[in-house]
Structure 1
């Protein structure tokens, strides 16, 4: 199976916590396996959102998991960075206060932290 890189919680904002994870993938089945691996950790399984995006040989895929528009934010950053065959997952644990548009900035910040970690310019 593809190895999951999990950076854990990379930031908090008004009580919400954001974590970022990712892995090399080439198929939707591998994405599903990575998501299942991530959610085998109870804290990630109980997260409010596990939003993700991937650039595969067959095309781009994304899922908002209830955080409307967040998958597209991740996908745009993946495409701008030229990252191929990779899935990035941004996890949010809702802290009780709505963040409005700032939630997209936090998704960008988490995605950037992952790209920096793997040595890709964002």
Structure 2
């Protein structure tokens, strides 16, 4: 599991991105469970994620409507399979509107450019 914390802030909201290899839906769910064992991530407003398991796409918006699809599309463009990416947001008190989608893209891009393995 790789975690890039505090990669982006906007109007009080803070973002992190994490990811790692998974081979099944159960492993993806276990990845989220392990991430949320860290108190900071358990208290996050949203932990949105996506993974391509072969030809099977899985995603979860965790209340941040549309975010899982953004992650999924970026995984498809990258051709990265069996690797989950989670974008975490701590809500800062002000709505971000459409900017939140740009922030999800930036977080995923940061992960893809900086991950090892």
Q: Compute the TM-score of the two structures, normalised by the length of structure 2.
A: 0.96
RMSD between aligned residues: 1.3
Task: Choose which of 52, 61, 64 in structure 1 pairs with 2:61.
Answer: 64
Matched, 1:101 2:67: no
- Runs of 4+ in structure 1 over 6 Å off: none
Distance of 1:106 and 1:99 partners within structure 2: 10
Q: Which runs of 5+ in 2 are unaligned?
A: none
Query: Structure 1 residue 118: deviation in Å?
Result: 2.3
Partner residue in 1 for 2:12: 15
Partner residue in 1 for 2:82: 85
Matched, 1:49 2:46: yes
CA contact (8 A) 2:16 2:87 kept: yes
SS of alignment partner, residue 19 of structure 1: strand
Matched, 1:26 2:23: yes
SS of alignment partner, residue 83 of structure 1: coil
1:40-96: CA deviation from partner (whole Å, max 9, x where unpaired): 001100100000000102501000000000000000001001111100000000000
Q: Which runs of 5+ in 1 are unaligned?
A: none
Distance of 1:82 and 1:16 partners within structure 2: 30
Q: Paired residues, what number?
A: 117
Q: Compute the TM-score of the two structures, normalised by the length of structure 1.
A: 0.92
Distance of 1:46 and 1:25 partners within structure 2: 23
